[in-house]
A = this chain, B = another copy of it.
Amino acid sequence: MEKISSTKNTKVKEWVKLKTNNGRKKYRKFLLEGRHPVETALEQGADYEYLIIQEGFDLGELAERIDEERLILVTKEVANHIADTVHDQGIFMIGVIDEQVWQIPNDFSGKWLLLDNVQDPGNIGTMVRTADAAGFTGVVFGDGTADFYNPKILRSMQGSQYHLQLKRLNLKKWINSNKANGNAIFGSILDENALDYHQVEAPENFSLIMGNEGNGMSKELISLTDANLYIPIKGSAESLNVAVAAGVLIFGLID
């Protein structure tokens, strides 16, 4: 088993870069952190390059499932250096990103959630989890939306990333390809003059777009949808949290 004790080691330098979008794009890898997420990834047969543990970390039952040649031991100092959380849990995985993530699928059937410039990792993870619970086929991360290999999002998806397809694609392309296939595209906007979601009878195959927390969907995308849906606000709140709005629309449409 390899042991690394310097934060200046070439591998360590690469791992730290995996915490950024650019680093993940360059190396086509991502960094996963914590016992439960790593265990789930292994259970789901995720492709990985290395499993990294801090000195003294007790692998427990994980030991049986791990390929010794890909196991790397690091000092506490190195672990702190690569960790995203303040209290790291002493175990990390260097995962391999599947190229399909960036590819338009051959088959658009099913229900898809599209995220247009959504920022908050907690909101994004919660929406992926909700789409999973509603039996959606996948979630498409559009331009400007935080990366799903962002460590905070990986944590908040709670394993739903293994249950549905996650894609990073330009949403305009997605919409145009879907329209060519005859699938419906629904936007969501905060506008009383838009279509009340209760009035929609959703077809078998559709995409639903959720927009940015503060500014909503981009104007360009709004103009490309088949219909833009609205959740009637009966009280005095100005808006709903985007993940709650997604939940109401998703479960409303699949009724």
The residues of A with any CB-CB pair to B shorter than 8 Å are 122, 126, 129-136, 158-160, 163-164, 198, 231, 233-241, 243-248, 251-252, 254-255
Contact = CB atoms under 8 A, between A and B. Distances in A.
B133 A233 contact: yes
Given A122-B122, A235-B163, A237-B160, A244 B130 contact: yes
A160 B255 CA distance: 29
Contacts of A248: 247-248, 251
A240 B234 contact: no
Nearest to A197: B251
A83 to B, nearest CB: 19
Given A234-B135, A234-B254, A248-B247, A240 B160 contact: no
B129 A198 contact: no
A133 B130 CA distance: 20
Contact of A251 (B130, B164, B231, B239): B231
A235 B122 contact: no
A129 B234 contact: no
A129 B254 contact: no
A125 B231 CA distance: 19
A176 to B, nearest CB: 27
A255 B232 CA distance: 10
A132 B163 contact: no
B126 A244 contact: yes
A130 B240 contact: yes
Contacts of A236: 132, 160, 163
Contact of A234 (B134, B159, B238, B243): B134
A19 B14 CA distance: 42
A252 B249 CA distance: 10
B243 A241 contact: yes
A133 B243 contact: no
A135 B248 CA distance: 15
Contacts of A126: 241, 243-244
